[in-house]
Amino acid sequence: MEVLGRPEVVLEGIDHKIHDDPAAYRATVAQIKYDTNSLGALVTTHKLDLFAAAEDMFDYFDRYAQVTRELSSISKRDGRLEGHAKDPITAGLSLEHIIEPGYFARTGGHILCLGAGGSALATLLHLIHKPDKADRPERFIAVNRSEERLTHMRHMVAQYDTDINMEYLVNSDPRQNDALMAALPEGSIVINATGMGKDTPGSPITDDGLFPLNSIAWEFNYRGELDFMHQAQRQVESRNVRVEDGWVYFVHGWSQVVGQVLHIEITPELFRRLDEAAATTR
């Protein structure tokens, strides 16, 4: 808040149970809506549930919130309550931090995304919207434990005319994920968006799984056991794997939402200063 020039603004947490009672979500939204001292909120785990419970209480949703039916940002403008889904923007900014323009045309790499929840969906939406074909992978394989998330992803993709070849696989067997990795071209990006290694123990691949040569392993988390990340780190030299974690994603996520709530544009210079401040607490 000091970096943003608003030191008087304090951050306060509101805890909800996973899949909380809709009335509890509505009470939280009501507090923000009617209390002039509550400026807005960043929503984590409850993005889909909160949207479903309180959709009618909002006066505006951005396009991404409408398409994904989730929201990560609650803010106010001229007395209106607004909901934004910032994840496609923040996942995109994070990916752009990792790869340079034209990456997919240069490498011919594909994307294997293990986990098809909110963050996977956000990454895919970002890629679908890239105007230059060189910035879109030829193929995006989404793997998820249950069918439901893949169906949601399929419905979302159907709303766009995309040339990315989509593959949807229901699987939670790490050996099958190893086989999928082995079949990827060089330069591909393998994402751990399952939460395994932080939210649940383990990794979606086995210790024997080989990353493609010259590939990128992107672990969406930055804390926890991070087994997937450690597996990838063991192949940095032997297979020239570049390993990225979720720290930049995290800093973009927070700065985009706080910027929306306070109506401050997060310029690259401001982001650099926020990133610096965040690094001191890492």
Q: Residues in the site for ligand NAP, rule: CB under 6 A?
A: 114-120, 143-146, 148-149, 172, 193-196, 198-199, 204, 220-222, 246, 249-250, 253
Closer of 134 and 179 to ligand NAP (Cβ): 179
- Contact predicate 51/41, CB 8 Å: no
Q: Which residue is nearest to ligand NAP (CB)?
A: 117
Q: How far is the CB of 36 from ligand NAP (least distance, A)?
A: 30
Distance between alpha carbon 147 and the CA centroid of its chain, in Å?
20
Q: Between the CA of residue 17 and those of 24, 25, 46, 224, what are the distances in Å?
A: 9, 10, 9, 21
Closer of 115 and 209 to ligand NAP (Cβ): 115
Closer of 49 and 82 to ligand NAP (Cβ): 49
Q: How far is the CB of 235 from ligand NAP (least distance, A)?
A: 20
Residue 109, Cβ neighbours under 10 Å: how many? Answer: 24
Closer of 19 and 80 to ligand NAP (Cβ): 19
In 3D space, the residue among 171, 99, 89, 91 whose CA is nearest the CA of residue 137 turns out to be 99
Closer of 130 and 198 to ligand NAP (Cβ): 198
Q: How far is the CB of 27 from ligand NAP (least distance, A)?
A: 23
User: Alpha-carbon dihedral of residues 189, 194, 195, 199, nearest 10 degrees?
Assistant: -160
Q: How far is the CB of 63 from ligand NAP (least distance, A)?
A: 19
Q: How far is the CB of 86 from ligand NAP (least distance, A)?
A: 10
Beta bridge partners of 170: 144
**Residue 10, phi-psi category: left (phi > 0), alpha (psi -120 to 50), beta (remainder):** beta
Q: How far is the CB of 24 from ligand NAP (least distance, A)?
A: 19
Sheet holding 165-170, edge to edge: 165-170, 139-144, 111-114, 189-192, 216-219, 242-244
Helices (H) and strands (E) in the chain, counts: 11, 10
Which stretches of 115-155 are assigned E, i.e. beta strand?
139-144
Q: Give the integer Cα–Cα distance in Å for 93 and 203.
A: 25
Q: Give the integer Cα–Cα distance in Å for 118 and 169.
A: 16
Q: How far is the CB of 249 from ligand NAP (least distance, A)?
A: 4
